[in-house]
Structure 1
Amino acid sequence: MRKKVLIGLAVAVTIVGVVFGGAFAFQRKLIYLPEGRPPSSAADVLPGGRDVTLTTADGLNLASWYFPAAQAKAAVLVAPGNAGNRSYRAPIARALTARGLSVLLLEYRGYGGNPGDPSEDGLALDVRAARDFLVREAGTPLVYFGESLGSAVVTELATEHPPSGLVLRSPFVDLASVGQRHYPFLPVRWLLRDEFPTRDNVARVKAPITVVYGSADSVVPAGQSREVARAAGARTVEVPGADHNDPVFSDGPELVDAIAGASGAPAQ
């Protein structure tokens, strides 16, 4: 009897070890969901759109899209979420250039045909390459806009290089807090290699901050976005009934007004 118990315990420990080991080894496949194929061209999105290459400090060349606006009052650095590629952010580029803002759609490493593999450290290098490009090219004040995971990316950047305005869409407290919600059976905080501590970082940012979120977000709970806003002393824009990937967060008026407002451009 004792032998059977020990065998059963050994099997259980092995299964748990395999589950936890697999979660650790393949976690980035669950976090980062790139669409690897390259999109067509920035000029297909808007006349005057440019395909540009951003060079990171670790030597990667990242294809991205830049949409300069004539006599722009500001330039917006768009840091995307964890899925798709830059073509998914074309609607926000169109909406913001119509407000007289230049827009850079950053494409991370491993996304949209770019080399490399995404990670927290890697995305920090990618967004710095994007900022460097805009500093050289735009010659205007900069607004950082991050969606979901991208909120963590631009918040970390803002602790070192404060923008004129920072707009966070559906930000989470940190990656472990989101992971624990979706994988409650795993010790997510112990397993994660990437932390993305948005709440801790945002409290150190010296720039005006706006947090936009949906009240019915099923991916990042609205309470987490509100917690980030409280840590920042930020202005909040709640979109009633909106879920994480609803069209309102592509180019809806609440989002566009928040970003344009952060730039000083007039509302419409």
Structure 2
Amino acid sequence: MNPTVIYIIAGYLALVLIAYLVQEVFIFKPEKLHPDFAFKYDQPFEELFYEVAPGVRLNGLHFIVDKPRGTLLYFHGNSRSIKGWGKFARDFTRYGYDVVMIDYRGFGKSTGKRTEQDLLKDAQFVYDTLRASQPEHCILVYGRSIGSGFAAKVASDNNPRYLILDAPYYSFARVVKRFLPLLPLRWVLRYHLRTDLWIPKVKCHTYIIHGTKDRLIPIRHSEHLQALNAYDHADQDSWGRT
């Protein structure tokens, strides 16, 4: 075999191996917080801890309003921690909703090794905890960017009042394919997050928000998801552009 061909094949295989081993560094950008870190906000809140499995503890915040109209479960993006994301709770508390926001494994004070399956189980665990304290029709689920996949999965397996997806992806593999089109993602990618498979199973009203100039997740992802949104497919009010 031609040595040049051998080098090309070897280089490609090395690229595939590197992509498999270091993908977490590119997918997740967590901010670590010391266990004693004290959160400070200009609205009432309490700190939460969820013991989801042996050695796995999720940290969260519960922003509280008087006589809440319901509780919004907030799944944030792939960077920072609830320390920074907490400021966005006001987007919902000002309308009379409590907000529960959690950090994924390895973010903030949360502990545990991440896998797609475990992250989805964690999301369901937190939802179950909320459901134990209030009726499901009082729960709204919100997901932003990478959190939109977790939100869609939770909504597809349960019966919340509302699902809100902010800059969602059709599937995580489709996002990665834009930047690494030559990689065999089916075998290399450890996170697939198939929002396209989950949203048709959602049985509540769904509102999709997406910016027209989003460079990471183009708006066509939301347009394609809306086409699969069986519950709200005919409802034009369930789609928003920003």
Q: TM-score, normalised by structure 1?
A: 0.81
Q: Which residue of 1 aligns with 2:241?
A: 238
**What letter is aligned with 2:170?**
V
Structure 2 residue 229 is the aligned partner of structure 1 residue 226:
no
SS in 2 for 1:26: helix
Q: Which residue of 2 aligns with 1:210?
A: 207
> 1:170 & 1:153 partners in 2: Cα distance?
13
Structure 2 residue 5 is the aligned partner of structure 1 residue 9:
yes
8 Å contact 2:57–2:112 — kept in the other structure? no
> 2:123 & 2:214 partners in 1: Cα distance?
26
Match of 1:112 among 87, 108, 114: 108
Instruction: Trace 1:109-188 onto structure 2 (pairs within 5 A).
Output: 109-137=105-133, 141-188=138-185
Shift of 1:78: 0.1
How many matched pairs? 234
Shift of 1:58: 5.7
SS in 1 for 2:132: helix
Shift of 1:150: 0.7
| Residues 195-248 of structure 1 deviation map (CA, whole Å, 9 limit, x = unaligned) | 101012101111110000001110100011111112114411100xxxxxxxxx
Shift of 1:64: 0.9
Structure 2 residue 60 is the aligned partner of structure 1 residue 60:
no
8 Å contact 1:32–1:118 — kept in the other structure? no
> 1:95 & 1:47 partners in 2: Cα distance?
12
Q: TM-score, normalised by structure 2?
A: 0.89
> 1:162 & 1:182 partners in 2: Cα distance?
35
Shift of 1:41: 3.5
Structure 2 residue 69 is the aligned partner of structure 1 residue 73:
yes
Match of 1:21 among 13, 17, 28: 17
8 Å contact 1:215–1:222 — kept in the other structure? yes
| Residues 51-102 of structure 1 deviation map (CA, whole Å, 9 limit, x = unaligned) | 1101215652111111122111100000011111112222221231121110
Name structure 2 gaps, 5 residues minimum: 233-237
1:136/1:45 Cα in 2 relative to 1: closer, same or farther (>3 Å)? Answer: farther
> 1:57 & 1:207 partners in 2: Cα distance?
29
**What letter is aligned with 1:124?**
L
Q: Which residue of 1 aligns with 2:194?
A: 197
8 Å contact 1:57–1:129 — kept in the other structure? no
**What letter is aligned with 2:68?**
A
Shift of 1:148: 1.1
> 2:194 & 2:3 partners in 1: Cα distance?
41
SS in 2 for 1:166: strand
Identical positions, percent: 23
8 Å contact 1:28–1:119 — kept in the other structure? no
Larger CA deviation: 5-14 vs 59-68: 5-14
Shift of 1:30: 1.6
